[in-house]
Amino acid sequence: MTRAADLSLYHFDACPFCVRVRRALDRLGVEVELCDVQDEPRHMAALVAARGKRTVPVLRIAGADGRDQWMPESSDIVKYLERRFGAA
């Protein structure tokens, strides 16, 4: 399993789009911080503060410069993960 310390997935368990992203992470053998927005109000607050929206899944990519990129949309997240962690 590869630990991606710069990635956090904002999600909740029953969301089918979130399930799609979590399955991709499992298939690719990637471990990220999971931020459940239903169980942890601080995660929802961080998501809304950053994006102005409550929709999930969203992948937070921590930049080396200290700026975070917030990537919504399960299909975009899966494509990013496959590009970054998939076999060449």
Number of C-alpha atoms within 13 angstroms, CB side, residue 56? 27
User: Average pLDDT, stretch 28-56?
Assistant: 97
List of domains in the chain = 2-85 (3.40.30.10)
User: In sequence order, which ranges of 1-88 are alpha helices (DSSP H)?
Assistant: 16-28, 41-51, 74-85
pLDDT band at 14 (very low <50, low <70, confident <90, very high): very high
Instruction: Please give the average per-residue pLDDT across 51-77, as a whole number.
Output: 96
Global pTM reads 0.95
CA–CA gap between residue 81 and residue 85 (Å, rounded)? 6
Q: Which of 53, 69, 56, 47 is nearest to 17 (CA)?
A: 56
Mean pLDDT of 20-32: 97
Token digits for 73? 């949309």
Q: Is pLDDT above 80 for 87? A: no
